[in-house]
Amino acid sequence: MASAAEGDVGTRTELSGVLLSAFEELSLNKLATSLGASEQALRLIISIFLGYPLALFYRHYLFYKDSYLIHLFHTFTGLSIAYFNFGNQLYHSLLCVLLQFLILRLMGRTVTAVLTTFCFQMAYLLAGYYYTATGNYDIKWTMPHCVLTLKLIGLAVDYFDGGKDQNSLSSEQQRYAIRGVPSLLEVAGFSYFYGAFLVGPQFSMNHYMKLVQGQLTDIPGKIPNSTVPALKRLSLGLVYLVGYTLLSPHITEDYLLTEDYENRPFWLRCMYMLVWGKFVLYKYVTCWLVTEGVCILTGLGFNGFEEKGQAKWDACANMKVWLFETTPRFTGTIASFNINTNAWVARYFFKRLKFLGNKELSQGLSLLFLALWHGLHSGYLVCFQMEFLIVIVERQAANLIRESPVLSTLASIAVLQPMYYLVQQTIHWLFMGYSMTAFCLFTWDKWLKVASAELVQKRLSPSSQHSRAPAPGQRSRRLEDMALAAVPLPPKSSSGAKGETLVGGAEGPVASQGSPLHVALSPL
């Protein structure tokens, strides 16, 4: 009787587990469908916002606790987030973390260890891109893995620097050099920290260890007073999310591929490209502001004090929002966007190429590395190549104005400053739009189609040529049509367009461009 009862209980327990799992899947599917997004996108958004309750738990129950408990908490929560989003494919990150730990222990603080780390981690990431990438944003294991790749390469370099004579290192290298020998649990906690596992930001092993040791607080011996700064970044991220949600049905990259866009007047295509080029970046801004809030809440965002004694919480800031919104120069946008990734490339790649003796070559190789790190699509190479050329032209134009007495005098006229600013912003975001076209459309056939629309004038049939000269009675109607055309339009029916998911469209249902969940999270 006892065995029969136990078997009955076991059957009921198993059945309850199956029903609970089915209920969860059904709920996620229904909710994702109602929001016009894929289930993968919904899981990703839930995981990002889940960082806030996890950070609160850490603040109240684990701050100043034993280090191994904190590492275990970060490892367990990060792995849970990975499994929730990617299932058994979390083994990719586990494998790379474990092998990286073995490389550090077996090869030590050597150049061989650094080169092995760089080659293995980048090769693994590129192989993942090759086998999983599609023509859309992909919600695959490669999305957080690109963030992990930079973390592990930076870890190897800092560990190598830790074995050098301190006097031979720059002040920056001394700050990040790892003197001790990280344990497997420390490497895992650093790699899977829930506030940055999916989309960043980047931070060093030393900074992470300061968090674990309770040093990242503005009140020594107490929990950091970071709730208000964290909520400010979260609120700002939600503002961008709402703005993106309201405008996304009217400003889409899909429209760039339609015949309706090709048939618009040149000035209207430029206007649309200008608006779209600024707007398309809002999805990245939203993502980074929300995750920055999580890092601030845990204390990871603590960055010392200002001269007046006020605490700074920008250690994990990936955006300088005011600079991003107001700068009229391309270099200003670069300085305000994806800050931590750019700082990582400068610290671990660009400055390490100093032996080449050529700054432009080092910059070009750094941008090539960034392009490959994003993926294997040709659009990434074109985007960063255009960025490189535009920055060079912008600097030469600034030097020309500075060295010319006439141009300098004209540029200093206060009354004309608003007009200069408007012209600069127009040129700035127009070229940004064309750079982002290749970045967002990925494949050469798509971005080349948009580029050719500006270079090739379509031949008009006799009937269309006749229609170019409207009768006097039709003129008011044509002017009205042009006024309506000035408003960015959603794409009309495109040939076999499937739409886009949040970060990947190869699997699952199509995500609506107007969905609040349509926030592309692939790192820029």
Amino acid 27: pLDDT: 62
* Rounded distance between C-alpha atoms, residue 95 and residue 88, angstroms: 12
* Rounded distance between C-alpha atoms, residue 296 and residue 194, angstroms: 13
Three-state DSSP at 301 gives coil
Amino acid 447: pLDDT: 87
DSSP state letter for 248: T
Residue owning tokens 């077996």: 106
What lies within 8 Å, CB to CB, of 479 at 6+ separation is none
Three-state DSSP at 460 gives coil
Residue owning tokens 């031949």: 459
Query: 177 lies in which domain range?
Result: 28-215
DSSP state letter for 508: S
Amino acid 41: pLDDT: 74
Q: Retrieve residue 425's tokens.
A: 């912003």
Is cis: bond before 201, omega within 30 of 0?
Answer: yes
What lies within 8 Å, CB to CB, of 192 at 6+ separation is 74, 75, 77, 78, 79, 82, 93, 97
- Point out the residues that are catalytic: 338, 374
* Rounded distance between C-alpha atoms, residue 523 and residue 69, angstroms: 30
Q: Which of 65, 52, 68, 63 is nearest to 224 (CA)?
A: 63
User: DSSP secondary structure string, 344-392?
Assistant: HHIIIIIGGGGGG--HHHHHHHHHHHHHHHH-S-HHHHHHHHHHHHHHH
DSSP state letter for 461: P
Amino acid 473: pLDDT: 44
Three-state DSSP at 305 gives strand
- Count of domains observed in the chain: 1
Q: What is the pTM of this model?
A: 0.81
* Rounded distance between C-alpha atoms, residue 157 and residue 520, angstroms: 30
Q: Which of 36, 130, 29 is nearest to 514 (CA)?
A: 36
Amino acid 499: pLDDT: 34
Alpha-carbon torsion angle 56, 58, 64, 68, nearest 10: 180
Residue 337 lies in a domain: no
Residue 253 lies in a domain: no
Residue 225 lies in a domain: no
188 close to 152: Cβ distance less than 8 angstroms: no
* Rounded distance between C-alpha atoms, residue 439 and residue 133, angstroms: 14
Residue 193 lies in a domain: yes
Q: Which of 43, 38, 67 is nearest to 183 (CA)?
A: 67
3-state secondary structure 63-101: CCCCHHHHHHHHHHHHHHHHHHHHHHHHHHHHHHHHHHH
How many C-beta atoms lie closer than 10 Å to residue 78's C-beta?
Answer: 26
501 close to 139: Cβ distance less than 8 angstroms: yes
In order of 174, 287, 316, 337, 436, the CA distances from 524 in angstroms are 28, 11, 16, 9, 10
CA 482 to chain CA centroid, nearest Å: 36
Q: Retrieve residue 522's tokens.
A: 């692939």
* Rounded distance between C-alpha atoms, residue 454 and residue 464, angstroms: 19
Residue 492 lies in a domain: no
Three-state DSSP at 337 gives strand
DSSP state letter for 254: G
Amino acid 349: pLDDT: 95
Per-residue pLDDT of 33-68, as tens digits, reads: 555 566 777 888 889 999 999 999 999 999 999 999
The amino acid occupying position 272 is: Y
Residue 404 lies in a domain: no
* Rounded distance between C-alpha atoms, residue 493 and residue 96, angstroms: 43
Residue 150 lies in a domain: yes
In order of 1, 7, 18, the CA distances from 4 in angstroms are 5, 5, 21
Amino acid 217: pLDDT: 94
Per-residue pLDDT of 462-511, as tens digits, reads: 444 444 444 444 443 443 444 344 444 444 433 433 333 333 333 333 33
Residue 154 lies in a domain: yes
Average pLDDT across each block of 10 residues of the chain; the chain has 524 residues. List them in order.
49 51 55 62 86 95 94 96 94 97 96 97 96 81 95 97 91 94 96 94 96 94 94 94 84 88 88 90 91 96 90 94 93 92 95 90 92 92 90 91 90 90 91 90 87 60 42 42 43 38 34 36 40
Three-state DSSP at 299 gives coil
How many C-beta atoms lie closer than 10 Å to residue 250's C-beta?
Answer: 16
CA 70 to chain CA centroid, nearest Å: 27
